[in-house]
Structure 1
Amino acid sequence: MEITTNDIEIYFGENQILKGIDINISNKQFIGIIGPNGSGKSTLLKCIYRILKPSSGIVKIDSKSIHELTMKETAKKMGVVAQHNYHNFDFSVQDMVLMGRTPHKRALERDNEEDYKIMYNALEKVGMIDFAKRNFNSLSGGEQQRIILARALAQETESLILDEPTNHLDIKYQLQLLDIVKSLNIEVVSAIHDLNIAAMYCDKIYVMKNGKIVAYGTPQEVLTEKLIKDVYEVDAKVNLDEETGELNIIYRPNYKSN
């Protein structure tokens, strides 16, 4: 499966948020989108998963405009895990996950044995099988995010969109959630706030600043001391483990320079 954007622009009033964005997600890669606050990361992802409509440009799935697809067809191809999950109704955990089966159902069709099997398998994957009967609103933030991931897994899609889903999670749950996603062997695109997390999980990274793509490549190619200074306006030391190829970014606070 392939997701592409071609020359995406979006305006809020007279303020241009995205300025001609071209990206490509394919070959079952984990693609990260990084950049400072206000750079347009979440706005771009919302265009991809159809919360926002671009002012111009096009989003395609397998060379077909998403606007030629119904919302149900899009939901069969693309699962979404967003940063915030507020619900006015107190659904059970299993009901939350079963919502992921909706794109595969006819109107008013009841959940069947296969749907329940898929739901329990999804909960098993995220380590939440013992919580199936719990109320969703009684769970911690990290537990809720794992349930939202399970709901996306129950959609059985070919790709996942992660809209900064780990921002408010403890590091244990950040790594746990992204470990699960990385193991799925599907196309993934994720807005990521933490550069070390991006270095650990991403195959390729797009860097955004002021609504534009300013760099693209592997973590080693992109996450340089110069780029971090240019984009984030902070000094950093980037260390490379020669044996594992892993990067570690250490930030240098200004007070130590004074």
Structure 2
Amino acid sequence: MKITTENIRVNFQAKEILKGISIETRDKELVGIIGPNGSGKSTLLKCIYRVLKADSGAVYLDGEELYAMNAKSSAKKMAVVAQHNYYNFDFSAREVVLMGRAPHKKTLERDNADDYRIVEEALKTVQMDKFADRSFSTLSGGEQQRVILARALAQQTPALILDEPTNHLDITHQIMLMKLVKNLDVTVISAIHDLNIAAAYCDRIYVLKDGVLEGEGTPGEVLTPELIRRIYKVESEVVYDSQGKMHILFL
């Protein structure tokens, strides 16, 4: 699926947070959004997954304007792994993942055996099947993040939106999550704060700073010492390992 934003502008208390952002994904591409804290990454993603309505501009899913479709229709096209996930009730991990099946259900339709099979597969995929009956609120931040990813997988959409998905994860599960996402064969847009994660897994990267688009291209084109100095105000060196993989060293 192709996701496009066209001249997205967002204002908050007389401050312009996003200043006309236009990005585009190709089908089944992993696109990273990078930039310093406060650059507008999460705000842009919220506009894409319709938690926040832009003051002007538009979002298109395969050429169809986002607000021309109802929320259930867009939820069949796009699943979300947000930064923060709170529930007022004491749901089990399995029940949280079952919520991902909601867009596929009619009003008051009960969960069936197929739904439960999909949920169990999603929990196994993120290595949380042994925690299925645990209360979501008792899980660590990293475990909760993996359950939320399982919920997105259970939604079975052609696109996935991730807001800094490796937050709270140890290095083992950071690599597991990014490898999993990379191999899903769906379109992915992800806000990423770790530049080495972006270098390793993104097909293309967009750079935001102060609500302005400052660069776009492949990791090799974008993640240069010059851009890193300009955007993050730090010195760096780009090196390649014995397998030809790119790494950024901060000096």
Q: TM-score, normalised by structure 2?
A: 0.97
Distance in 1 (alpha carbons) for counterparts of 2:158 and 2:29: 12
Distance in 2 (CA, whole Å) between partners of 1:135 and 1:17 is 37
3-state secondary structure, aligned to 1:67: helix
For the pair 1:35 / 2:35, whether they are aligned, the reply is yes
Give the root-mean-square deviation of aligned CA atoms: 1.0
Name the residue aligned to 1:245.
Answer: 244
Alignment check: 8 A CA contact 2:142 2:167 kept = no
CA contact (8 A) 2:164 2:190 kept: yes
1:133-144 alignment to 2 at 5 Å? 133-144=133-144
SS class of match (1:226): helix
Aligned to 2:65: 65
8 Å CA contact 1:83–1:166 kept in 2: the answer is no
Residue 245 of structure 1, CA deviation: 3.2
Q: 1:4, CA displacement in angstroms?
A: 0.1
CA separation in 1, counterparts of 2:243 and 2:77?
Answer: 34
Query: What does residue range 125-164 of structure 1 map to in structure 2 within 5 Å?
Result: 125-164=125-164
Query: CA shift at 1:165, angstroms?
Result: 2.1
Q: Which amino acid aligns with 2:98?
A: L
The corresponding residue for 1:120 is 120
Work out the CA distance in 2 between the residues paired with 1:135 and 1:176. Answer: 23
Amino acid corresponding to residue 249 of structure 2 in structure 1:
I
Using the TM superposition, give the Cα deviation of residue 167 of structure 1 relative to its aligned residue in structure 2, in angstroms: 2.1
Secondary structure, aligned partner of 2:76: helix
Aligned residue pairs: how many?
Answer: 251
Any gaps of 5 or more consecutive residues in structure 1? Answer: 253-258
Normalised by the length of structure 1, the TM-score is: 0.95
Q: By how many angstroms is 1:13 displaced?
A: 2.2
Displacement of 1:168: 2.6
The Cα of 1:225 is off from its aligned counterpart by 0.3
Counterpart of 2:60 in structure 1: which amino acid? Answer: K
Q: Note the 1:201-216 alignment, pairs <5 A.
A: 201-216=201-216
Contact 1:10–1:19 (8 Å) recurs in 2: yes
Residue of structure 1 equivalent to 2:166: 166
Q: Write out per-residue CA displacement over residues 168-218 of structure 1, whole angstroms, 9 at most, x where no aligned residue.
A: 322222222112111101100000001011101101000111111111111
Give the structure 2 partner of residue 255 of structure 1: none
Aligned residue in 1 for 2:2: 2
Question: Could you tell me how far 1:115 is from its partner in structure 2?
Answer: 0.6
> Which structure 2 residues correspond to residues 50-61 of structure 1 after superposition, within 5 A?
50-61=50-61
Q: Which runs of 5+ in 2 are unaligned?
A: none
**1:9 is paired with a residue of what secondary structure?**
strand
- Give 1:31 deviation, angstroms: 0.4
- Distance in 1 between residues matched to 2:90 and 2:139, nearest whole Å: 11
What residue identity is the alignment partner of 1:167? N
SS in 2 for 1:106: coil
Give, as a single letter, the amino acid of the residue that structure 1 aligns with 2:8: I
Structure 1 residue 92: Cα displacement: 0.9
Which letter maps to 1:96?
V
Q: Which residue of 2 aligns with 1:95?
A: 95
Query: 1:164 offset after TM fit, Å?
Result: 1.1
Deviations 1:90-122 (A, max 9, x none): 101111111000000011111011111111111
Identity of aligned residues (%): 59
